[in-house]
Amino acid sequence: MTLTAKDVAEIMRLLEQSSFDNLSLEMDGVKLNLQRGSAAPMQPAPAPPVAARQPSKPEPQAPPRARPSSEPGLSEVASPLLGIFYRAPKPGEPPFVEVGSKVNKDTVIGIVEVMKLMNSVHAGITGEVVEILAENGVLVEYGEVLLRVRPEA
């Protein structure tokens, strides 16, 4: 698989919509390094004197948080990838699951599109869908909660 200019543009768009500041990708011998809000300098800038540097502590990034559930004991199904989440197999078709749907470990609950590749997301648990948090067609981050399931007793 080769990396086209269209693929790079899509990756840049996804990076801009995410909370990440940089992305490094290597495919078929091609290395791509993207950083939000900065351009690569043409020549390296001279390093400031050591005495002028002040150590900075990187702020820890918290994982994406879902709004708290009002019902205890629910299991959360999280996105396995960063990409665009779709609730239905095709536009205009019914969603894979709705609130009240019964799911098992292998039930497909949605699709995450990454670089024009569609990746099925499975429930991974048996139970009943009680809350759907992710909206159709929006960017979801790795680990972001997509829906909540009441586990089968």
Q: What is the pLDDT of residues 13-41, one digit of tens each?
A: 787 777 777 777 777 777 777 776 655 55
Tokens of 121: 């997301």
DSSP label at residue 80: S
Q: What pLDDT does residue 63 have?
A: 44
Tokens of 8: 């790079």
**Integer Cα distance of 19 and 15 in angstroms:** 8
Q: Which residue has the tokens 């569609």?
A: 118
Outline which parts of the chain fall under CATH 2.40.50.100. 75-151
Span 50-89, pLDDT tens digits? 555 555 555 544 444 455 666 788 999 999 999 999 999 9
Evaluate if pTM is beyond 0.85: no
Mean pLDDT of 100-127: 94
Mean pLDDT of 98-114: 95
Of 2.40.50.100, 2.60.120.10, 3.50.50.60, 3.40.640.10, the CATH number of 75-151 is 2.40.50.100
